[in-house]
Amino acid sequence: MKLLVTGGAGFIGSNLVEKLLEDNHEVVVIDNFNDTYDPNQKRDNIKIFLNNKKVKLYEIDLRNKKDLEKVFKKEKYFDFVFHLAGIGGVRPSQLNPNFYYEENVIATINLVEIMKNYNCKNLIYFSSSSVYGNIDKTKFSEKDITDTPVSVYAGTKRSSEIMLYNYYINYGFNIAIIRPFTVYGPRQRPDLAIHKFTKRILNDEEITVYGDGTMLRDYTYVSDMVEATIKTLNYINNNDTNIYEIFNVASSNPKTINEMINIIEIILNKKARIKYIDKPIGDVNKTFGNITKAKKLLNWKPSVSFEDGIRNFIDWYKDNEK
Q: Find the DSSP H helices in the chain.
A: 11-22, 39-47, 65-75, 90-95, 97-101, 107-117, 152-171, 193-202, 222-237, 257-268, 292-293, 306-320
The total of other beta-carbon atoms located within 10 Å of residue 51's CB is 7
Percent of the chain that is helix, strand, coil (3-state, to 5)? 45, 20, 40
Closest by CA to 110, choosing from 51, 183, 61, 161, is 61
Q: Which distant-in-sequence residues (6+ apart) come within 8 Å of 186 by Cβ? A: 15, 222, 312, 313, 316
- Label residue 136 exposed, middle or buried (CB < 10 Å: 0-12, 13-18, 19+): exposed
The total of other beta-carbon atoms located within 10 Å of residue 166's CB is 13
Is 171 annotated as catalytic? Answer: no
Within 13 Å, how many C-alpha atoms sit on residue 53's CB side?
0
Residue pair 144/83 in contact (Cβ under 8 Å)? The answer is: no
- Report residue 192: phi and psi, to 5°: -85, 155
Per annotation, catalytic residue among 58, 125, 132, 153: 153
Closest by CA to 62, choosing from 29, 89, 36, is 29
Question: What are the residue numbers of the active site?
Answer: 153
